[in-house]
Chains A and B, each alone.
Chain A
């Protein structure tokens, strides 16, 4: 079973739309949670951390539900520049503190 599962998409949405991505994680001992963004043929970049209390950064809102082991990302008022792959990431914080990545959800924002 994969540590992190995501719907790979693709999601094709018009500019200005609201889009939501979800992922689930399998290990209840997971300690830290993130969304990363990866542009085509580029490295992943941290978009935002995810907390149980939820957090918002401009048009982006991330939420964590520990009981359901579920993480979400909401993008409001989509821009063309939001087109990318969004990776759900967890850190068990055991041993090497390595990050476990989902397969990513591909988003294309259409003019």
Chain B
């Protein structure tokens, strides 16, 4: 196992609600990246956090936001949920400067009804 954990495992929400997903990175890893994987697609980069600041962002609207804490764990927040937000949300931890090697957590499966 990678040592990256995510919670919750599964989540069901309705349109318009807000959700917070959590990720604990592998010990010693200071960089966390979040990805969205829709059914039948590859993961799509949402954003990355390093030293508690956003360090890059993919093509996702501002209602997707995040945090990183001093212990390097991270949260992904999504406001005003839409049906298309239904997906597997993956976080990956890595060491700054070695972000080629990203270790993925098991993901949170979000269903928006």
B3 lies within 8 A of chain A by Cβ:
no
The smallest beta-carbon distance between A73 and chain B, in angstroms, is: 15
Take A96-B55, A101-B43, A102-B42 as given contacts and tell me if A43 and B105 are in contact as well, using a CB distance cutoff of 8 Å. Answer: yes
- A 86-104 binary contact with B (CB < 8 Å = 1; else 0): 0100010101111111111
- For chain B, the count of residues having a C-beta within 8 Å of the partner chain is 26
Bound CA span A103–B106, Å = 18
Instruction: Give chain A interface residues in 21-65, CB to chain B under 8 Å.
Output: 32, 34, 41-46, 49
B65 lies within 8 A of chain A by Cβ:
no
Q: How many pairs of A and B residues are in contact by the CB < 8 Å rule? A: 61
Take A100-B45, A102-B42, A103-B40 as given contacts and tell me if A42 and B106 are in contact as well, using a CB distance cutoff of 8 Å. Answer: yes
Q: Is the CB of A44 within 8 A of B104?
A: yes
- What chain B residues lie within 8 Å of A100 (beta carbons)? 45
B14 lies within 8 A of chain A by Cβ:
no
A4 lies within 8 A of chain B by Cβ:
yes
Closest to A2 in B: B42
Contacts from A to B (Cβ < 8 Å): 4, 8, 32, 34, 41-46, 49, 87, 91, 93, 95-104
